[in-house]
Amino acid sequence: MTNNAKKSAQWLAQAPSASPAPTLGKREIEVMELFWSQGSALHTATDILQELNQHAGAADDTITLNTVQSTLERLSRKALLKRTKQGRAYAYQTVQSKHTVISRLIAEISEEISDDDPNVMLGGFIEFLETRHPKWTMPLTLLEGMSKLARKTVGN
Q: What is the CATH number of the domain that holds 58?
A: 1.10.10.10
Q: Which of 16, 41, 44 shows the shortest CA–CA distance to 116?
A: 16
Residues 84 and 30 in one domain: yes
For the stretch 49-96, pLDDT in tens is 998 888 776 655 678 999 999 999 999 999 999 999 999 889 999 998
Percentage of the chain lying above the pLDDT 70 cut: 71
Whether residue 82 is found in the same domain as residue 130:
no
Are 82 and 95 contacting, i.e. CB atoms less than 8 angstroms apart?
A: yes
Q: Is the pLDDT of residue 116 over 90?
A: no
Nearest to 70 by CA among 28, 26, 21, 30: 28
Decide if 21 is inside a domain: no
Residues 11 and 57 grouped into a single domain? no
Amino acid at 111: E
Number of domains observed in the structure of the chain? 2
Three-state SS at 42: coil
> Phi first, then psi: what are they for 40, rounded to 5°?
-100, 20
The reported pLDDT for the residue numbered 57 is 66
**Same domain, residue pair 9 and 42:** no
Please write the tens of the pLDDT for every residue from 37-48.
988 789 999 999
Same domain as 122, residue 87: no
Comparing C-alpha atoms, which of 97, 86, 87, 91 is closest to residue 73?
A: 91
Q: Is residue 88 part of a domain?
A: yes
In a domain, 135, yes or no: yes
CA 73, CA 53: separation in Å to the nearest integer?
A: 19
Residue 107 lies in a domain: no
Residue 105 pLDDT exceeds 70? yes
Domain limits for position 48? 26-94
Q: How many helices (H) and strands (E) does the chain have?
A: 7, 3
